[in-house]
Structure 1
Amino acid sequence: MMTNLFSSFDPMTSLYLSLNWISMMIGLIILPFSIWVIPSRINMMWIKITSILNKEFKILINMNLSKGNTTMFISLFMFILFSNFLSLFPYIFSSTSHLSLTLSLSLPLWLTFMIYGWMNNTIHMFSHLVPQGTPMILMPFMVCIETISNLIRPGTLAIRLTANMIAGHLLLTLLASTGNKLSIFMINFLIITQFLLIILESAVAIIQSYVFTILVTLYSSEIN
């Protein structure tokens, strides 16, 4: 049971079973049934968003190989966006603020791209290790730098999403914890500040899910 907002970062509800991870499915319960009815306003908005994302991802992926591939990236975007927005509600477990979730999203995708690329386009993958126009004397160093930058990609993806979600949640919690010690005027100012921060966090939830998905799409486009 969660006793304060800081416990929303704690995945353990008991010694043996982590029931807080089930909170990711709360959104399926609160979704209106009209989203599954065609036509409806929510359904039309959902189709509009997916069509825009489909056009964005097709630009980054080879047009000849993009048939059906964008569905995976759109689903990834929607899942991260859904989890980010759910974590903005008080006392709901923040799943995207844990590396165990973000790394489990980025690492399998990156590993799959690397295995496919090195097995099917080996020469093309080798060409990425040395940027065009690199002097001969710098080629060994560039190979090392490009290899390291490639290996840390899943980690940077996971840490970027986790750090942004943790930072916003902690700022909201720390500001709210000072409310019982403030005057009436300062409490009103704090409420306005919290409201603005909630709007900012909503924007961060959208931006971070979009950035995560765009970077994964860019990594996948490099193997073709």
Structure 2
Amino acid sequence: MMNNLFSIFDPTSSIMHLPFNWLSTMLGLLFLPMMFWAMPSRWVIFWNMVISTLHKEFKLLLNTSHMGVSLFLISLFSLILFNNFLGLLPYVFTSSSHMVMTLTLSLPVWLTLMSFGWFNHTNNMFAHLVPQGTPALLMPFMVIIETISNVIRPGTLAVRLAANMIAGHLLLTLLSGAAPSSSISIIMILTISQILLITLEAAVAIIQSYVFAVLSTLYTSEIH
């Protein structure tokens, strides 16, 4: 019996006191060998279409011709998407529901963008602190508000991803916990509800990885 509902997100298996469940983060690499076959499968063709669409969209948002930035953001999207989907499989550790994982993704991106922007586009970064048309009386307050907004960006990215992944898993756990002591009719209703929730979680897995990548793209576009 669980003493804490959130204990379902704790790594429980370990080898030499190292959390073994975190290795599930690398399971996304198992999908890569399919792309090296001579004849591309339908999955590879579909994934190439997704990457091409994302590249075109990110290139428009970035307003730059540097392909490397777009490819980095697509890689970020792919990593989060793989981890979100793997967390839906039974007995697979959901790494994207932990702040350790999400902050590891958002904080280096934000620090890199801030460092690059302040060292190379200092005037532009100062201009972002005061929106155009702001009255002189409100400028000090706008600087404080914009500074706080910039500082909390990695936290909001990390919390948004982790909270959305935790919420669905908690609902699934609560519904499954009520099944053993329920009647057949209630169990059927719970089963249908869980199927619908898993479908919703699959959509959330895609949406949250896309939101994370798009917001990172918008933050990147501000430093040019």
Q: TM-score, normalised by structure 1?
A: 0.92
- In structure 1, the residue matched to 2:44 is 43
Mapped partners of 1:186, 1:221: distance in 2: 51
1:127 equivalent in alignment to 2:127:
yes
- In structure 1, the residue matched to 2:17 is 16
Deviation of the 1:6 alpha carbon: 6.0
- In structure 2, the residue matched to 1:56 is 57
Deviation of the 1:23 alpha carbon: 1.3
Please say if residues 87 and 93 of structure 1, whose CA atoms lie closer than 8 Å, have aligned partners that are also in contact.
Answer: yes
Deviation of the 1:12 alpha carbon: 5.0
- In structure 2, the residue matched to 1:94 is 94
Give the secondary structure class of the aligned counterpart of 2:129: coil
Question: Which amino acid in structure 1 is aligned with residue 60 of structure 2?
Answer: I
Does the C-alpha gap of structure 1 residues 132 and 33 become closer, same or farther in structure 2, counting only changes over 3 Å? closer
- Long gaps (5+) in structure 2: none
Mapped partners of 1:77, 1:107: distance in 2: 15
RMSD: 1.7
Q: TM-score, normalised by structure 2?
A: 0.92
Give the secondary structure class of the aligned counterpart of 1:77: helix
- In structure 2, the residue matched to 1:195 is 195
- In structure 1, the residue matched to 2:161 is 161
- In structure 1, the residue matched to 2:71 is 71
1:89-144 superposed Cα distances (whole Å, 9 cap, x missing partner): 12211100100110010000000000000001100000000011111100000000
Deviation of the 1:84 alpha carbon: 0.1
Deviation of the 1:27 alpha carbon: 3.9
- In structure 2, the residue matched to 1:26 is 27
Deviation of the 1:187 alpha carbon: 0.8
1:150-201 superposed Cα distances (whole Å, 9 cap, x missing partner): 0000000000000000011011011011111111111111111000000000
Question: Which amino acid in structure 2 is aligned with residue 138 of structure 1?
Answer: L
**What is the number of residues matched between the two proteins?**
218
Mapped partners of 2:132, 2:118: distance in 1: 20
- Long gaps (5+) in structure 1: none
Mapped partners of 2:190, 2:100: distance in 1: 33
Deviation of the 1:218 alpha carbon: 0.5
Regions of 4+ moved over 6 Å: none
Does the C-alpha gap of structure 1 residues 49 and 112 become closer, same or farther in structure 2, counting only changes over 3 Å? same
